[in-house]
């Protein structure tokens, strides 16, 4: 990766991935784009307003900046997708199709995140394997499975260097996620610090895989830098680092804030989605094919999240 384009850089992953990549590859070599102005991303490197649904504009940015690697981070997440499935399909698949085509025409590598949402109620629940039944029941999941297949197709048919990981819920303290089922695991830390209590929309006993942002960012770079000869899979790798329920994360927060209280006001859409997803993924293939190894667990992450949020809220 020498000249990188990030599409959808204003979101939860993009806002931190831009900074992370700029530190590694140099500010001038990482072009951040989003459908909206993002002053923070424009402050230390190239930024352009780009509608990912406009393939001509995307191709023009790629050509002007001599891009060799594209990160397509445009996504309407699982819960918001259920409110407007047609729009979710249009945005998620439109951005992917344009990224694939621009990558094919301009000889770029392409990273597009998939998700635990690519699995569904018929997938094995515990230690969900890399290659297994994938029949998601959300439009988001259907986009992710289609995206994985289409990305593999572009690799097999046109030789495009497409790669991807199936992200768990990502927990971070820079940009809040929006419209996801796993968002509770971010909100809970902010509410614990600000108000000492949190009302959770996901049932207390539902396990989902989660990952701390530093591990998620490292996974993107390590996969894109991996020797292609080692990759048996491409789109998309299971990665895992921790799996917990709302009750378990609340108990971890209480180690730092003993008076922290949590109650529940269940969102039926989020309940159905959360219950349809795996409890935990098996990430053996990512470990074997490109050396994936998480560095953060729930305990370490909770200490860090609370410290960062506390210092910022002072
Ligand atoms: C969501 O909850 O929709 C996302 C995801 C797991 O892909 N965070």
Let me know if the fold of 4-168+213-238 is the same as that of 170-209+242-281+290-313: no
> CA–CA separation, 170 vs 5, rounded Å?
21
| 118 Cβ below 6 A of ligand 1 | no
Q: Which of 20, 140, 198, 212 is catalytic?
A: 140
Q: Which of 191, 162, 292, 220 is nearest to 9 (CA)?
A: 220
Is residue 139 within 8 Å of residue 147, measured between CB atoms? no
Q: Tell me the per-residue pLDDT of 36-50, one tens digit each, with 9 for 90 and over.
A: 999 999 999 999 999
209 CA from centroid of ligand 1 (Å): 10
Under 8 Å CB-to-CB from 173, ≥6 apart: which residues?
Answer: 189, 213, 305, 308, 309, 312
117 lines ligand 1 (CB under 6 A): yes
Q: Is 171 helix (H, G, I), strand (E, B) or coil?
A: strand
Bridge-based pairing of strands 162-163 and 208-212 is unpaired
Q: Which one, of 304, 281, 300, 86, lies nearest residue 189 by Cα?
A: 304
Crossing angle between the packed helical segments 298-313 and 184-195, to the nearest 10 degrees: 50
Ligand 1 within 6 A of 134 CB? Answer: no
Name the residue with the closest Cα to ligand 1, atom 4.
Answer: 180
Residue 18 in contact with residue 218, Cβ under 8 Å?
Answer: no
Q: Please name the residues in contact with 207: beta carbons below 8 A apart, sequence gap of 6 or more.
A: 243, 244, 245, 279, 280
Burial letters 87-109, b for 16+ CB under 10 A, else e: ebbebbbbbbbbbbbbbbebebb
N residues, the chain: 314
Q: What is the phi/psi pair of residue 66, to 5°? A: 55, 45
Contact indicator for 78, 181 with CB cutoff of 8 Å: yes
> What confidence score (pLDDT) does residue 85 get?
98
Which residues, listed in sequence order, are joined to residue 114 by a DSSP beta bridge? 166
Question: What pLDDT score does 178 carry?
Answer: 87
SS3 75: coil
CA 63–ligand 1 middle distance (angstroms): 32
Task: Identify the CA nearest to 77 among candidates 151, 164, 152, 8.
Answer: 8
* CA dist., res. 86 & res. 135, Å (int): 19
Residue 141 near ligand 1, beta carbon < 6 Å: no
Residue 216 DSSP one-character state: H
- Name the β-bridge partners of 163: 111
The answer to whether 277 touches 212, Cβ cutoff 8 Å, is: no
Separation of 60 CA from ligand 1 center, angstroms? 31
The pairing of strands 165-167 and 114-115 is parallel
What CATH class does 170-209+242-281+290-313 carry?
alpha beta
SS3 of 51, please? coil
Looking at residue 177, its pLDDT comes to 87
Q: What DSSP character marks residue 80?
A: H
pLDDT tens across 187-201, in order? 999 999 999 999 999
10 Cβ below 6 A of ligand 1: no
User: Are the C-beta atoms of 67 and 20 separated by less than 8 Å?
Assistant: no
Q: Does the reported pTM lie above 0.85?
A: yes
Q: Is the CB of 201 under 6 A from ligand 1?
A: no
Ligand 1 close to Cβ of residue 164 (< 6 A) = no
Residue nearest atom 1 of ligand 1, based on CA coordinates: 180
Q: Where are the domains of the chain?
A: 4-168+213-238, 170-209+242-281+290-313
**CATH (one of 3.40.50.720, 3.90.1150.10, 3.40.50.300, 1.10.340.30) for 4-168+213-238:** 3.40.50.720
| 140 assigned to active site | yes
Supply the pLDDT for residue 18.
Answer: 97
Name the closest-CA residue to atom 7, ligand 1: 115
Going by alpha carbons, the residue nearest to atom 8 of ligand 1 is 169
Going from the Cα of 168 to the center of ligand 1, the distance in angstroms, rounded, reads 7
Atom of ligand 1 nearest to the CA of 140: 3
Å from CA of 153 to ligand 1 middle: 24
Helix or strand run (H / E) with residue 211: strand 208-212
Ligand 1 geometric centre to CA of 244 (Å): 15
Which residue ranges in the chain fall short of pLDDT 50?
Answer: none
Is 5 touching ligand 1 by the criterion CB < 6 Å? no
């Amino acid at each position: 990766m020498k000249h990188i384009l990030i599409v959808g850089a204003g979101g939860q992953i993009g806002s931190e991935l831009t900074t992370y990549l700029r530190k590694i590859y140099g500010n001038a070599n990482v072009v951040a784009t989003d459908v909206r102005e993002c002053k923070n991303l424009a402050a230390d490197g190239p930024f352009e307003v780009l509608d990912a649904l406009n393939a001509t504009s995307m191709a023009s940015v790629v050509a002007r900046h001599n891009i060799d690697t594209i990160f397509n981070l445009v996504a309407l997440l699982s819960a918001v997708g259920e409110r407007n499935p047609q729009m979710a399909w249009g945005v998620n698949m439109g951005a992917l199709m344009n990224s694939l085509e621009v990558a094919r025409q301009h000889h770029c590598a392409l990273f597009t995140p998939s998700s635990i949402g690519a699995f569904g109620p018929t997938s094995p629940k515990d230690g969900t394997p890399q290659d297994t039944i994938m029949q998601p029941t959300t439009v988001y999941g259907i986009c992710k499975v289609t995206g994985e297949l289409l990305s593999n197709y572009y690799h097999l048919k046109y030789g495009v260097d497409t790669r991807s990981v199936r992200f768990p819920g990502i927990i971070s303290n820079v940009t809040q996620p929006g419209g996801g089922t796993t968002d509770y695991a971010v909100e809970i830390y902010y509410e614990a610090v600000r108000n000492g209590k949190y009302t959770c929309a996901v049932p207390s006993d539902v396990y989902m895989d989660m990952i701390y942002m530093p591990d998620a960012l490292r996974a993107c770079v390590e996969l894109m830098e991996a020797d292609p000869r080692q990759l048996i899979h491409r789109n998309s790798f299971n990665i895992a680092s921790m799996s917990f329920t709302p009750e378990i994360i609340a108990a971890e927060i209480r180690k730092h804030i003993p008076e922290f209280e949590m109650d529940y006001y269940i969102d039926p859409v989020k309940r159905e989605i959360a219950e349809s997803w795996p409890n935990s993924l098996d990430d053996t293939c990512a470990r074997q094919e490109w050396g994936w190894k998480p560095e953060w667990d729930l305990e370490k992450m909770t200490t860090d999240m609370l410290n960062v949020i506390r210092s910022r809220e002072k």
